[in-house]
Structure 1
Amino acid sequence: MATFQIHYFSIASSYINKNTEALPAPLPLNRLFDTLESRYPGIREKVLQSCGVSVGDEYVDVDEADGNKEGEGRVIQAGDEVAIIPPVSSG
């Protein structure tokens, strides 16, 4: 089975008690939060709504992942590295 790695940081990691896991690929980016919500009920409201997401070295906007005017949305591919990154503050 083809998979991608998803890494969880800070509150995201604490919420699911994992730092990383493999999920089936390919996965349309606009389905990522639905997939995580089905695995970890409540994560969307309690964690994901305030988190950033990166695929590889690029931050992505999951809410705008439905695609461009040609209708081609971003797809997380096998071997990709995805990170769920909570807000960071500094003082």
Structure 2
Amino acid sequence: MASKPPPGHFNILYFATAGSYTAKNVEALPAPLPLKKLFGTLEERYQGIRASVLDHSLVTINLTYVDVTDDEASEDGDQIVIKEGDEVAIIPPVSSG
């Protein structure tokens, strides 16, 4: 498990090709961050990551899978927001052979 993020941040864990693309296993990002802005924020940091990795990956927040879309909203109309201390994971598809 990753160490606790600094105050005002959340941890993002990069698995498989996401870790290769970023050259990191974990990184702290400023919180709060609306989930719908996560991929854009990562694209700004790592140009090309969205098409190469993110668009084909699963995402979890605190071990719960979430769908990342531009209009992400829960049933009550509130958008999902990544909060201080949360743990987000980027899980690209893996294959064996």
Q: How does 1:35-74 map to 2 (within 5 A)?
A: 35-63=41-69, 66-68=72-74, 70-74=76-80
In structure 1, list runs of 5 or more residues that go unmatched: none
* Residue identity matched to 1:75: V
* Root mean square deviation of aligned Cα: 1.7
Selected match of 1:88 from 75, 89, 94: 94
Aligned sequence identity (%)? 56
Q: TM-score, normalised by structure 2?
A: 0.85
Runs of 4+ off more than 2 Å: 68-71, 88-91
Q: As a proportion of its length, which structure holds more helix?
A: 1
In structure 2, list runs of 5 or more residues that go unmatched: 1-6
Question: Is structure 2 residue 24 aligned with structure 1 residue 3?
Answer: no
Distance 2:61 2:81 in 1: 10
Distance 2:28 2:17 in 1: 19
Distance 2:25 2:68 in 1: 20
